[in-house]
Chains A and B, each alone.
Chain A
Amino acid sequence: MDFIVPIILIIFSSIAAILSLESRSLVYGAVSLAIFFLGLSLFFFYLGLTYLAIFQVAVYVGAIAVLIMFTVMVVGEGQRRKRSVPLLAMGLLGGAIILASFLMGISYFFSLPNPSMQPSFTLVSLARYVMDNYGLILFILALLLTSAAYGAVALARREVEETA
């Protein structure tokens, strides 16, 4: 079996993803979402994209998972409601349709030839590439992130009541 490592990673990450959706407590769901991000990061390490793997850990686990966990702890657990079977059935049907439709079209990829070895990758080449081709987009992304942070803070602010 050549594909033992990807298959183990797939099983690990899907268990973490399913747990994050189905676990009884929201905090366990947030923790297992962080484990899912770690599993994805291991995928990236195994594929050879080391910078992306570290970036994923630093941004997703270090910032987004913390943000999600903070929100979950502040908002608190929702009320327990009865499981709604039609909703569950619709969800499973939607997931199954997507899975089946992609798997049907996947035989195309069997016929692709194996690629040649990539040239050596250094961070300097990545930085040069991003700056040459995506420089303006990087700038716009920075503005977008700043405005998103500002907007999030403005949205979540408590309204200060004027006292007479």
Chain B
Amino acid sequence: MQELDKDYASSFVKYSIVAVIILLALVLYLIYPYLLALLQLLFSNPSAILNTTLFKLLIFPGLIYVSIVALIAEWVERKLVARIQVRVGPFYVGGWEGLLQPIADLFKLITKEIIIPKHADKNIFILSPVLAFIVGALPIIVIPYSPTYVIWDYQFGLLLYFAILAFYPLVVLLAAWSSNNKYSFIGGLRALYQQASYEVPLFLAALPAVMLAGSFSLTAIASAQAKVWFILFAPLSAIVFFAGMMAELERIPFDMPEADSELVSGWTTEYSGIAWGLFQFGAYVKLLAYSGFFVTIFLGGWQGPAILPPLFWSLLKVSIVVLILLSVRGFFPRIRIDQLVRAGWGRLIPICILNIVIIALLQPYIVSILR
């Protein structure tokens, strides 16, 4: 086993700084015309930059916003669950109550070595965290935070959302299989059963919103809730969607694939360093995407009293849903895998269908209320 010497660390830092500078120069050279156009736009009309697609993709409902919220959500989760469990949570790092703990964790994960098991399939092993992050982060392009703050106002936004989320069991299966570890494969199969069983209740629970709004576009669904939110007409579907959301995100109480006391870390056991970090980060980004979706379908998106801007209301609602999702972790025990699968197929689907039938019967009256 070779020892890590100071020369290795310093040369690594030097080479990485040089590589980052070269990469930045290359990127700047490639995007120079667009950057020039963007800067001209900024100096002539400063607020128009907020409406360009690049800004929306990169900064506001896009990459940087999602990353920052994922980091904050990690800190909030650890503090909240700790207080529920009568302990303190992260405490030392950062000035006040461990605020910089997620950044310290990120730094630690980046500098850790990625250990690839000897007989693991290298290509798929390296590919699956990246794919998990992409599939988890892609649905944020259709979620509207206000009538103008949506990256792509697609006509079939809801369908695209579900099509992207149908990818995730594939990624889980690839990640679990490529670890070449019997127990992580069992964890991956459990994750597959769980996520595949709760996809159908999720699709069915989102259907009343489409029936009431008359369109698959998420901005149209959010705009149709100007007078009454859809959760009042479809409470059963909202509950089923919430439960399905928790199951798809593998949060406690649907924690079976990652049962800490049984399967070490479930299907991500063999991943270390930034590969595991990408899985966790992708889980928080998926949490944000799902919460945004829940708010858009059931809680009215950006609708609220006109005193405050619509953006504030949508951010408030998303934060409340995220907080509820994070705090549930401290309250419930874990559900067994057979109870989980039986609940997904046998109990949640009839509830969804009941709600769809009720909405279908009452639709003319509801639509006249909404108009």
Complex A–B touching at CB under 8 A: yes
Q: In this complex, what residue of B is CB-closest to A57? A: B163
* Bound-state Cα–Cα, A69 to B189, Å: 11
A63: chain B residues within 8 A (beta carbon): 166, 196
B189: chain A residues within 8 A (beta carbon): 70
Kindly provide the distance from the CB of A30 to the nearest chain B CB, expressed in whole angstroms. 9
- A62 close to chain B: CB less than 8 A: yes
A54: chain B residues within 8 A (beta carbon): 156, 159-160, 163
A:52-96 near B, CB below 8 Å: 54-55, 57-58, 61-63, 65-66, 69-70, 73
Evaluate contact between A65 and B170: CB separation under 8 angstroms. Answer: yes
B:156-176 near A, CB below 8 Å: 156, 159-160, 162-164, 166-167, 169-170, 173-174
- A123 close to chain B: CB less than 8 A: yes
- A19 close to chain B: CB less than 8 A: no
- A146 close to chain B: CB less than 8 A: no
- B109 close to chain A: CB less than 8 A: no
Evaluate contact between B170 and A69: CB separation under 8 angstroms. Answer: yes
B169: chain A residues within 8 A (beta carbon): 62, 66
Evaluate contact between B173 and A69: CB separation under 8 angstroms. Answer: yes
Could you say which of B162, B177, B196, B214 contacts A58, with CB atoms under 8 Å apart?
Answer: B162
Q: In this complex, what residue of A is CB-closest to B155? A: A50
Evaluate contact between A51 and B214: CB separation under 8 angstroms. Answer: no
* Bound-state Cα–Cα, A124 to B215, Å: 8
A:25-63 near B, CB below 8 Å: 25, 27, 31, 34, 50-51, 54-55, 57-58, 61-63
Could you say which of A51, A73, A124 contacts B156, with CB atoms under 8 Å apart?
Answer: A51
Kindly provide the distance from the CB of A148 to the nearest chain B CB, expressed in whole angstroms. 16
Evaluate contact between B170 and A34: CB separation under 8 angstroms. Answer: yes
A73: chain B residues within 8 A (beta carbon): 173, 177, 185
Number of interface residues of A (CB under 8 A): 20
* Bound-state Cα–Cα, A66 to B166, Å: 9
Kindly provide the distance from the CB of B276 to the nearest chain A CB, expressed in whole angstroms. 22
Could you say which of A25, A55, A61 contacts B170, with CB atoms under 8 Å apart?
Answer: A61
* Bound-state Cα–Cα, A57 to B196, Å: 15
B214: chain A residues within 8 A (beta carbon): 124
A:110-150 near B, CB below 8 Å: 123-124
Q: Known contacts being A50-B155, A51-B156, A123-B216, is A70 close to B192, with CB within 8 Å?
A: yes
Q: Known contacts being A50-B156, A124-B214, is A70 close to B167, with CB within 8 Å?
A: no
A34: chain B residues within 8 A (beta carbon): 170
* Bound-state Cα–Cα, A159 to B159, Å: 40
Evaluate contact between B170 and A62: CB separation under 8 angstroms. Answer: yes
Q: In this complex, what residue of A is CB-closest to B160? A: A54
Evaluate contact between A62 and B216: CB separation under 8 angstroms. Answer: no
Evaluate contact between A27 and B162: CB separation under 8 angstroms. Answer: no
Evaluate contact between A62 and B166: CB separation under 8 angstroms. Answer: yes
Evaluate contact between A69 and B159: CB separation under 8 angstroms. Answer: no
* Bound-state Cα–Cα, A34 to B199, Å: 19
Evaluate contact between A58 and B170: CB separation under 8 angstroms. Answer: no
A62: chain B residues within 8 A (beta carbon): 163, 166-167, 169-170, 199
Q: Known contacts being A69-B174, A73-B185, is A58 close to B166, with CB within 8 Å?
A: yes
Kindly provide the distance from the CB of B340 to the nearest chain A CB, expressed in whole angstroms. 18
Could you say which of A31, A58, A65 contacts B163, with CB atoms under 8 Å apart?
Answer: A58
Kindly provide the distance from the CB of A19 to the nearest chain B CB, expressed in whole angstroms. 13
Evaluate contact between A27 and B170: CB separation under 8 angstroms. Answer: no
* Bound-state Cα–Cα, A63 to B196, Å: 8
* Bound-state Cα–Cα, A70 to B177, Å: 10
Q: In this complex, what residue of B is CB-closest to A56? A: B163
14 A-B pairs in the complex with CB atoms less than 8 angstroms apart:
A27-B121, A31-B174, A34-B170, A54-B159, A54-B163, A61-B167, A62-B170, A63-B196, A66-B169, A69-B173, A70-B189, A70-B192, A73-B185, A123-B216
The 6 tightest CB contacts between A and B, nearest first, are A62-B166, A58-B163, A57-B163, A54-B159, A54-B163, A58-B166
Knowing that A61-B166, A69-B173, A123-B215 touch, tell me 9 more A-B residue pairs with CB under 8 angstroms. Answer: A27-B177, A31-B174, A51-B156, A54-B156, A55-B163, A58-B159, A58-B162, A58-B166, A62-B170
